[in-house]
């Protein structure tokens, strides 16, 4: 396997994990790190910490990972595209739709691989869920409900919870059901004294008719990462915090207790908790990015898909401001 020379821009809370994985996967060599803020987590090792994206490009890299605050994604990505460097940008793709589109256009025109780090797609529970849905184990899909809640992260200052966290759920929902959002309505709350929202509830419908609910906040004392997909044969519950997947089947045994039967609608069947390999999502994400660069089969989150996710999130925020249902 050819060895790709990798550069990493940003070694903060997320960048430090990228540095570790880039050193671990086959076919990639981390040769340069840049961060104007230095190396707070001590991940550079023998590498010099370069001052900026220009110095990173000058190191002669084939691929790059951009793990700096969202406001700086566009500038870094456009320079990398101009230099012919395949790039993985952390989510969300950019701070605005206009910036995201310029990134999409630059990488497309240069014939380069551009990807967005929507890491939840590579969670083992969701990978297994997607595989089982494709195999028809749930039948027709009716609804997707996601809950992503937890305390406020001090690392985030430039975007609200919608772009930082809800973007995960928008991306994974469309990917799991293989259908884009068509309509959205949303409500937001500002409870922590910041200019950005810290709570959002998105409801919508995909083009295929699946009802969607995404509940996201930074105001919960407990951490929750759940995706529930309901269909004609039952419901899958994926816990992406633990990587577990459970199936709740519709029952085949008729209920003889009439009042309970009429209340429940469907009867409760068997509950199955699946056992499967659980690989680190970030490692799987990097392996897919590497394979895409090498022209091998892969399943990256493309810049176009990242831009679509940002469009849905921006539309939801607009719908919340205007108290209207918005078509994507």
Q: 40-79 pLDDT, tens per residue?
A: 999 999 999 999 999 999 999 999 999 999 999 999 999 9
CATH topology of domain 121-278+310-327: Dihydrodipicolinate Reductase; domain 2 (3.30.360)
User: What's the average model confidence in pLDDT over 165-192?
Assistant: 96
Whether residue 254 is predicted with pLDDT greater than 80 in this model: the reply is no
Note the pLDDT of residue 264: 53
Whether residue 263 is predicted with pLDDT greater than 70 in this model: the reply is no
**Starting at the edge strand that comes first in sequence, how are the strands of the sheet with 63-66 ordered?**
49-50, 28-34, 4-9, 63-66, 86-90, 114-117
Confidence class for position 281, pLDDT limits 50, 70, 90: very high
Residue 2 or residue 13, greater confidence: 13
Query: SS3 breakdown of the chain: % helix, strand, coil, rounded to 5?
Result: 35, 30, 35
Closest CA to 159 of 93, 207, 237, 256: 93
Task: Enumerate the domain spans of the chain.
Answer: 4-119+282-302, 121-278+310-327
Sign for the pseudo-dihedral over CA of 277, 283, 285, 286: negative
pLDDT exceeding 90 applies to what percent of the chain?
Answer: 90
Note the pLDDT of residue 28: 98
Q: 107-127 pLDDT, tens per residue?
A: 999 999 999 999 999 999 999
Whether residue 174 is predicted with pLDDT greater than 90 in this model: the reply is yes
Whether residue 260 is predicted with pLDDT greater than 90 in this model: the reply is no
Eight-state DSSP code of residue 246: E
Q: 79-89 pLDDT, tens per residue?
A: 999 999 999 99
Taking the C-alpha atoms of residue 283 and residue 124, their distance in angstroms, rounded to an integer, is 11
Confidence class for position 30, pLDDT limits 50, 70, 90: very high
> Residue 218: what are its φ and ψ, rounded to 5°?
-110, 25
Q: For the chain, how big is the Rg over CA atoms in Å?
A: 21
pLDDT exceeding 70 applies to what percent of the chain?
Answer: 94
Superfamily of domain 4-119+282-302: NAD(P)-binding Rossmann-like Domain (3.40.50.720)
Q: 190-210 pLDDT, tens per residue?
A: 998 888 999 999 999 999 999
Sign for the pseudo-dihedral over CA of 252, 256, 258, 264: negative
Note the pLDDT of residue 194: 85
Whether residue 157 is predicted with pLDDT greater than 80 in this model: the reply is no
Q: What is the pTM of this model?
A: 0.92
Closest CA to 168 of 105, 216, 238, 98: 216
Eight-state DSSP code of residue 128: H
**Within 13 Å and on the Cβ side, how many CA atoms surround 324?**
8
């Amino acid at each position: 396997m050819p060895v790709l020379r990798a550069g990493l821009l940003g070694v903060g809370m997320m960048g430090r994990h990228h540095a570790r994985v880039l050193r671990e996967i086959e076919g990639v060599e981390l040769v340069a790190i840049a961060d104007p803020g230095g190396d707070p987590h001590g991940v550079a090792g023998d590498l010099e910490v370069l001052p900026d994206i220009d110095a990173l490009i000058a190191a002669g890299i084939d691929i790059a990972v951009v793990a700096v605050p969202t406001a700086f994604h566009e500038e870094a990505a456009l320079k990398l595209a101009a230099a012919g460097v395949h790039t993985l940008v952390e989510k969300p793709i950019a701070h605005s739709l206009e910036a995201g589109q310029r990134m999409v256009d630059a990488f497309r025109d240069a014939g380069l691989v551009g990807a967005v780090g929507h890491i939840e797609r590579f969670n083992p529970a969701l990978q297994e869920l997607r595989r089982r849905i494709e195999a028809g184990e749930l039948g027709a899909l009716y609804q997707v409900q996601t809950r992503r809640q937890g305390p406020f992260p001090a690392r985030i200052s430039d975007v609200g919870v919608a772009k930082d966290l809800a973007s995960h759920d928008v991306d994974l929902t469309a990917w799991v059901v293989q259908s884009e959002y068509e309509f959205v309505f949303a409500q937001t709350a500002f409870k922590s004294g910041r200019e950005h929202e810290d709570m959002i509830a998105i409801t919508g419908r995909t083009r295929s008719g699946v009802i969607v609910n995404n509940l996201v906040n930074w105001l919960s004392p407990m951490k929750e990462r759940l995706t529930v997909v309901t269909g004609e044969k039952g419901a899958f519950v994926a816990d992406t915090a633990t990587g577990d997947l459970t199936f709740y089947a519709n029952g085949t045994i008729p209920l003889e207790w009439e009042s309970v039967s009429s209340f429940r609608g469907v009867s409760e069947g068997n509950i199955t908790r699946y056992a499967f390999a659980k690989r680190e999502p970030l490692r799987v994400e990097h392996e897919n990015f590497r394979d895409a660069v090498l022209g091998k089969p892969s399943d990256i989150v493309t810049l176009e898909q990242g831009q679509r996710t940002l469009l849905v999130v921006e539309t939801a925020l607009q719908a919340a401001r205007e108290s209207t249902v918005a078509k994507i």
